[in-house]
Amino acid sequence: QSVLTQPPSASGTPGQRVTISCSGSSSNIGSNTVNWYQQLPGTAPKLLIYSNNQRPSGVPDRFSGSKSGTSASLAISGLQSEDEADYYCAAWDDSLNEVFGGGTKLTVL
Partner 1 sequence: QVQLQQWGAGLLKPSETLSLTCAVYGGSFSGYYWSWIRQPPGKGLEWIGEINHSGSTNYNPSLKSRVTISVDTSKNQFSLKLSSVTAADTAVYYCARGFYDILTGSRGMDVWGQGTTVTVSS
Binding letters toward partner 1, positions 7-46, x by CB under 8 A: -------------------------xx-x-x------xxx
Under rule CB under 8 A, residue 106 binds partner 1: no
Shortest spacing between CB 15 and partner 1, in angstroms: 28
Under rule CB under 8 A, residue 103 binds partner 1: yes
**How distant is the alpha carbon of residue 26 from its chain centre?**
18
What is d(CA 33, CA 106) in angstroms, rounded to the nearest whole number?
23
What is d(CA 88, CA 48) in angstroms, rounded to the nearest whole number?
10
Burial of 62 (0-12, 13-18, 19+ CB in 10 A): middle
Q: Which stretch in 9-17, 61-69, 75-83, 101-109 sits in contact with partner 1 by CB under 8 A?
A: 101-109
